[in-house]
């Protein structure tokens, strides 16, 4: 009986995650790291910052976010009946492009976007949260991202949206948002199961804090706060796990994540839960194992200097 329940659960999870015609977990799996380069090697998301200087305000930033608060993996299998994390799907150049109507049209890249009618939405179709939609065009090497996305039949409606050329180091104009509050792309900062299973995460990660500052550090281009307290982290601030943090007691999967946090760090990208680390949902995650990342706390991090604030 136990085996039957487990089999039924796996079938349910597979159907739940197979909501895009060319979904990365479909019949034609895509190796993101090999088939789809996520920005050039010199891109900030791909930069080794293990040797960067500690930010002079590092202690203040850590104190503001919460020195004893745990690292929280904001992704996994299922939460409240929907895939847990920020989903994405991969399409090819044949995907039909559809119009997108934006609430923040002046700050958004115009459509049409190659978004399948059943593209996965963060939090599920009934979500009242951020409702991000992410589509990677594997043929044209483009990244399409929406915030507050709603399918409207023949078109999509969204709060904001951005298109990224994955072969270039482009940034948004100053004070212009993207599908993320910091004006950054979301996809390159997600923890993905396939890369963790391979043993290495070779890019920086995205995370949120509850209160940010009215400032940003490039490549971020936008702030989303009226708070001017200098102890608050600006959008785009980069933190890394301290080099002497012992990862030996963690699983191989969690070591891959923690080692990435030592080498590439994580970037403040939005207002949300403190120390909430972003990733893509996948039925293969071990939620209990991911929960072990909560043994890492704010005191185990330090902010690094990557540039001056813009206000």
Q: What is the pLDDT of residue 36?
A: 87
Of residues 278, 274, 188, the one with CA closest to residue 233: 274
* pLDDT by residue, tens only, the chain of 311 residues: 455 545 444 444 444 555 565 454 334 555 665 678 999 999 999 999 999 999 999 999 999 999 999 999 999 999 989 999 999 999 999 999 999 999 999 999 999 999 999 999 999 999 999 999 999 999 999 999 999 999 999 999 999 999 999 999 999 999 999 999 999 999 999 999 999 999 999 999 999 999 999 999 999 999 999 999 999 999 999 999 999 999 999 999 999 999 999 999 999 999 999 999 999 999 999 999 999 999 999 999 999 999 999 99
**What per-residue confidence (pLDDT) applies to 19?**
54
Q: Which of 161, 188, 157, 173 is nearest to 269 (CA)?
A: 188
Is-contact 141 84, C-beta < 8 A?
no
Contact 111, 100 (CB under 8 A): yes
Pairing of the two strands 276-278 and 72-74: parallel
What is the sign, positive or negative, of the torsion defined by CA atoms of 297, 302, 307, 310?
Answer: positive
* List of E strands, 61-124: 72-74, 78-79, 82-83, 89-91, 100-102
Do residues 203 and 265 touch, judged by C-beta distance below 8 A? no
Tell me the sheet residues that pair with 267: 206, 238
How far from 42 is each of 31, 147, 158, 220, 235, CA to CA, in Å?
Answer: 21, 27, 31, 16, 21
54 secondary structure, DSSP code: B
pLDDT by residue (tens digit) across 264-310? 999 999 999 999 999 999 999 999 999 999 999 999 999 999 999 99
Please, which residues have CB within 8 angstroms of residue 6's CB and are 6 or more apart in sequence? none
pLDDT tens, position by position, 237-246? 999 999 999 9
What SS3 state is found at 187? helix
CA 62 – CA 298 distance, rounded (Å): 6
φ/ψ of residue 211, rounded to 5? -130, 120
Taking alpha carbons only, the member of 54, 27, 17, 2 closest to residue 240 is 54
Model pLDDT, residue 35: 73
Residue 103 gets which letter from DSSP? Answer: T
Residue whose C-alpha is closest to residue 264's, from 73, 52, 9: 52
The predicted structure's pLDDT at residue 147: 98
Length of the chain: 311
Q: Where are the alpha helices (DSSP H) in 82-184?
A: none
> Which pLDDT value is given to residue 9?
47
Q: Kindly list the domain boundaries of the chain, sorted by start residue.
A: 19-304
Q: What's the pLDDT score for residue 2?
A: 54
Residue 103: which residues within 8 A CB-CB, separation 6 or more? Answer: 148, 157, 158, 159, 160
A 10 A CB-CB count for 135 gives 24
């Amino acid at each position: 009986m136990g085996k039957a329940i487990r089999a039924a659960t796996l079938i349910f999870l597979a159907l739940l995650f197979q909501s895009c015609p060319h979904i990365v977990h479909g019949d034609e799996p895509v190796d993101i790291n090999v088939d789809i380069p996520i920005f050039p090697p010199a891109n900030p998301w791909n930069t080794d910052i293990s040797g960067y200087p500690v930010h002079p305000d590092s202690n203040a930033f850590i104190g503001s976010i919460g020195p004893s608060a745990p690292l929280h993996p904001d992704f996994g299998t299922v939460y409240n009946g929907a895939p847990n994390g920020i989903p994405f799907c991969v399409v090819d150049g044949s995907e039909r492009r559809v119009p997108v109507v934006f609430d923040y049209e002046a700050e958004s890249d115009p459509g049409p976007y190659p978004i399948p009618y059943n593209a996965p939405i963060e939090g599920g179709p009934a979500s009242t949260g951020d409702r991000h939609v992410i589509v990677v065009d594997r043929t044209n090497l483009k990244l399409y991202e929406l915030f507050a996305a709603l399918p409207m039949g023949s078109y999509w409606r969204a709060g904001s949206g951005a298109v990224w050329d994955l072969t270039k180091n482009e940034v948004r104009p100053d004070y212009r948002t993207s599908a993320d509050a910091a004006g950054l792309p979301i996809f390159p900062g997600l923890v993905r199961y396939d890369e963790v299973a391979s043993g290495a995460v070779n890019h920086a990660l995205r995370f949120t804090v509850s209160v940010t500052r009215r400032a940003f550090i490039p490549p971020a281009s936008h702030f989303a706060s009226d708070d001017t307290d200098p102890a608050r982290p600006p959008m785009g601030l980069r933190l890394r796990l301290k080099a002497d943090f012992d990862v030996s007691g963690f699983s191989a999967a969690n070591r891959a994540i923690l080692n990435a946090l030592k080498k590439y760090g994580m970037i403040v990208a939005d207002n949300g839960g403190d120390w909430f680390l972003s990733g893509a949902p996948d039925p293969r995650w071990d939620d209990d194992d991911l929960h072990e990342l909560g043994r890492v706390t704010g005191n185990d991090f330090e902010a690094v200097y990557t540039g001056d604030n813009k206000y």
